[in-house]
């Protein structure tokens, strides 16, 4: 599940840029709400998958560790995705 959070984090800057080009909306206006929805959604899905797959209903120390790992995976994915973008073309004055 952590890889899924990384993959979505990596695609998020690329998709925000693509949507901003087609809708003439700044990419940060698209990126920030998506990121704020991605973090709790990924953490929630990680918790549900642990309950279903592993039968872990106790939580304990696993939950905070998983939360930190998921947030770190999303942040790393966003950094990689931002690095994959082409730099904006220089505007001619």
Q: Quick: pLDDT tens for 27-70.
A: 888 888 888 788 777 777 777 777 777 776 665 556 777 778 88
Between 65 and 22, residue with greater pLDDT: 22
Residues 33 and 60: beta-carbon distance below 8 Å: no
CA angle 86, 88, 15 (to 5 degrees): 60
Q: What is the mean pLDDT of the chain?
A: 79
Between 54 and 7, residue with greater pLDDT: 7
Entry pTM: 0.67
Q: What is the pLDDT of residue 60?
A: 57
Q: What is the pLDDT of residue 1?
A: 64
Q: What is the pLDDT of residue 91?
A: 54
Q: What is the pLDDT of residue 57?
A: 63
Between 17 and 55, residue with greater pLDDT: 17
Residues 73 and 9: beta-carbon distance below 8 Å: yes
DSSP one-letter code for 90: P
């Amino acid at each position: 599940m952590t890889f899924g959070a990384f993959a979505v984090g990596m695609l998020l800057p690329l998709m925000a840029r693509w949507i901003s080009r087609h809708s003439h909306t700044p990419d940060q206006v698209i990126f920030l709400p998506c990121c704020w929805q991605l973090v709790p959604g990924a953490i929630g899905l990680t918790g549900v998958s642990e309950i279903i797959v592993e039968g872990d209903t106790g939580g304990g120390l696993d939950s905070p560790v998983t939360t930190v790992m998921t947030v770190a995976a999303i942040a790393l994915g966003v950094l990689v995705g931002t690095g994959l973008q082409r730099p904006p073309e220089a505007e001619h004055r």
